Structure 1
Amino acid sequence: MDNWPCLLDNCMAFVKTILQPTADGMVSEGFTFTGVLYAGLILTTADPKVIEFNCRFGDPETQVVLPRMESDFVQTVLDVLDGKQPKLAWNEKTAVGVVLASSGIRAATKKAGKLGDLAALPEYALLFHAGTKKSGTDWLTNGGRVLLVTRLGDDLRSARDAVNNDLDRIKTDAVFFRKDIGHHALEATE
């Protein structure tokens, strides 16, 4: 699964055929909504399809999108709650995030598997812990989705290469992850 924090021209079909009609329908039926409406979509060979709608930020998508946000997040939330149009500012960087999952997630999830040295990663590598547990100086797996590593770069290739380098530093037999994240987006943009 690739989470694209950018809109390619052909992805505007999502907005025109799914998102805008959903918003228009909510308005026409008198639904007042304040908050985040997350659309889980999948791109099929024919056209985009809706998997789900949720009234929350998507996970792990949020960990790829929010690092690019330069606006004050709390002020943005307060503005939305007050019915004001938030002033959003985004940096021009590209973000790539990869989920590390416990080995055996499809069967018996392994717990207490030792992760590689997270301290060896650069300080600007963003780590989002999920199923981890600290034991002394070690980080251990403690669930299915273990960790998400996100990196920002000047372009998609540099962000993807940076996150893959980070993954090579911390990989162990306790986790697995995909090395092809960002591949489809690179093909579409190069």
Structure 2
Amino acid sequence: MTKITKRSVDAAVPGEQEFFLWDEELKGFGLRIYPSGRKMYLAQFRAGGRLRRVNIGPHGVLAPDVARTEAMKHLSDVRRGSDPASERDRRKASPTMKEFGKRFLEDYVASHCKPTTRAEYNRSIELFINPKLGSHRIIDVSRAEVVELHQSLKATPYQANRTLGVLSVMFTVAHTWGVRTDGVNPCWKVKRYKEVKRERLPHTG
């Protein structure tokens, strides 16, 4: 064991097999050295009777002191009973908005909505939701991001409101299916735009 510093990290020479350098001051904070020369900071801990590891970030992108601080946060969470590795696995298992949108259209909209409504849902997802939120994990989408999407469509209030409505149904279904379990629909209380109805001119002739 040695204290993980820039000097000790730079001095770690890759071998034929990967190996670990463990910090002598912060138990569980380490560095994985790959045969390729890549060096990855990590935190190691026991949770649920299992030895778990969480990658913090590569050396070069992160300085040792920054990596140490991140490791302390992870290890502190473990002492409070949480499991950062399980949280990481849960996030990886969460579908993106684009992936969920496809399932939503196929398994919910197709059997619950009229053809005109299905077309509207498909249009909102393909043209407005996916370009803005498609790559986001559904469990990560926040109210602020929903507001940003809604505001980006303010020039067309009707479309902005319809897209917000589609998103709200998507999150409600996500909770029903257990895809999102925080009990929060990020569309709640997002103020809709006033829609000006076109006045029909009286028929003359």
Identify the TM-score tier after normalising by the shorter chain. Answer: under 0.3
TM-score relative to the length of structure 2: 0.21
- Answer 1 or 2: which has greater strand percent: 1
Which of 1 and 2 has higher RCO (CA within 8 Å, sep 6+)?
1
Structure possessing the higher radius of gyration over alpha carbons: 2
TM-score relative to the length of structure 1: 0.22
- Answer 1 or 2: which has greater helix percent: 2
